Amino acid sequence: MSGKDAGVKSGKGAGVKSGEGTGKDAKAGGARGRGVTAARRITAVRTKGGLSLRFDARATFVGLLLLAVALAAGIALIGSGDYPMTPGEVMATLTGGGDAGQQFIVQDLRLPRVLVGLLVGAAFGIAGAVFQTVSRNPLGSPDVLGFAQGSSVGALVVIVYFQGGTFAVAVGAVVGGVVTGLAIFLLAWKRGIHGYRFVLVGIGASAMLYAMVLYLMTKANIVEATRATTWMTGSLNGRDWDQVWPLAAVCAVLVPVVLLYGRPLRMLEMGDDAAYALGVRVDRVRLVALMAAVVLVASATAAAGPISFVALTAPQLARRLTRSPGPNLLPAALMGAVLLVAADWSSQRLFGADQLPVGVLTGVLGGGYLLWLLATERKAGRI
């Protein structure tokens, strides 16, 4: 081989290797840059006792922002009505000020309604996040999978056959929702609960339960049918402290339980095999989280009726805002509270003298969101 040829070959080889090395270095630098950017989003805090906490700065900021929006919307809702009040007057009344009339309007009439709205929205939001995480499907919502319909059947049985009062109807709704949840679990169980099987069984149960609702409506007289229709619409009208305290107790017990399972639920999104390898008891996590979510949905439905699409939209909107993987349980709960209170305020203020039940407004907006979601999933080739 001539020296020229050797030089050319050597130059070509060196050039190729040098180019490859440069490209690899650039890719590594880009990866390191992305790693630094991702690392900056995660903040670690070490306490004096040696406990280390890690949290996503963006998700924390979004959660605090949603909490502020929910409280602001609640204050605005308390101040709206036939006797309007400014935010300052509302805050003064809530802290013990105001005259006797303002105290009655705020403490006895409007505050319970707002608290029920916040609690119901939070319960639907966090339950929807659990269902969508376990099913690994954005359509895995309680009102799509039949749990809300099960609560409706339980409430209608009490109304039509027993002419029960408000408390009895609430108990019937809780029992109907829990029984429906157990039935869907049993039908979907086959060496564990698979996401798609769970969704398909839930959709089938929803169709059957809706048929039962129609049958019960045909058996009711005009008074019972009117009462049942009003309840099934979903509304916060006339809510008082009798609905606040039971729902608050359920949320106080079950929301922390669900939050404790936030990390295992996040691992479930990687698949059962990966979760098993990381030490997650998959079946136990699914069972506990789903049972807690079912009771939350049933209790929220008992307090305000089957308000649709909040559980479907809240988790997805929260995830889009936080841009964080995982179920985003707390942001989803706060987003649900914001959506429901804002929808209730809109239903009172945007339609003049004709106030709409909040379930009508969430149904219209949620239906539009569902159509958009289906079109997006179809375009992406996932359905």
Tens-place pLDDT, residues 111-148: 999 999 999 999 999 999 999 888 887 777 887 888 88
In a domain, 197, yes or no: yes
The DSSP-derived string for 112-149 is HHHHHHHHHHHHHHHHHHHHHHHHT-TT--HHHHTHHH
Query: How confident is the model over 322-338, as a mean pLDDT?
Result: 89
CA 306 to chain centre: 14
- The helix-helix angle for 57-79 and 329-349 (nearest 10°) equals 30
pTM of the model: 0.81
pLDDT digits (tens, 9 = 90+) for 349-383: 777 655 778 888 888 887 787 788 778 767 777 66
Domain of 294, CATH number, reads: 1.10.3470.10
Burial tier of 282 (Cβ tally within 10 Å: 0-12, 13-18, 19+): middle
Q: Average pLDDT in the 8-23 region? A: 41
Domains contained in the chain, number = 1
- Is 22 part of a structural domain of the chain? no
- Residue 353: the pLDDT is 56
Please check whether residue 133 lies inside any domain of the structure: yes
Q: Say if residues 131 and 293 touch (Cβ distance below 8 Å).
A: yes
314-327 confidence digits (pLDDT tens): 998 998 898 887 78
Range of 4-18, 276-290, 330-344, 348-362 with top mean pLDDT: 330-344
Q: Distance (Å, rounded) from C-alpha 190 to C-alpha 194?
A: 8
In a domain, 14, yes or no: no
- Contacting residues for 357 by C-beta, under 8 A, at least 6 apart: 230, 233, 234, 235, 237, 347
- CA separation for the pair 132, 290 (Å, rounded): 10
What is the per-residue pLDDT for 16? 40
User: The tokens 């090395």 sit on which residue?
Assistant: 21
DSSP H or E stretch at residue 233? helix 222-233
Structural domain range at position 221? 54-379
| CA 277/CA 8 separation, integer angstroms | 52
Higher local confidence (pLDDT), 15 or 222: 222
Cα–Cα distance for residue pair 230/201, rounded to 1 Å: 28
Q: Is residue 214 part of a domain?
A: yes
Identify the residue with better confidence: 54 or 217.
217
Examine residue 30 and state whether it is found in any structural domain, yes or no.
no
Residue-level pLDDT at 331: 92
Compute the mean pLDDT over every residue in the chain, rounded to the nearest whole number. 80
Q: Is residue 205 part of a domain?
A: yes
- Band (pLDDT 50/70/90 cuts) for residue 248 is very high
Proportion of the chain above pLDDT 90, given as a percent:
25
User: DSSP characters for 183-198?
Assistant: HHHHHHBSSSB-HHHH
> From residue 243, how far is each of 80, 104, 246, 374 by CA, in Å?
21, 18, 6, 35
Q: Report the pLDDT value the prediction gives residue 337, as an integer from 0 to 100.
A: 94
pLDDT at 135: 81
Which contiguous run of DSSP H or E holds residue 200? helix 195-219
Q: What is the pLDDT of residues 174-232, one digit of tens each?
A: 999 899 988 888 888 776 666 677 888 888 888 999 999 999 988 888 888 888 888 88
| pLDDT for residue 83 is more than 80 | yes
The pLDDT score that the predictor gives to residue 194 is 67
In a domain, 16, yes or no: no
Residue 246: how many other CB atoms lie within 10 Å: 18
Distance CA 302, CA 148 (A): 10
The number of angstroms, rounded, from the C-alpha of 285 to the middle of its chain's C-alpha atoms is: 18
Residue 32's pLDDT is: 38
Q: How far apart are CA 102 and CA 91, in angstroms?
A: 11
pLDDT class of 33 with cuts at 50, 70, 90: very low
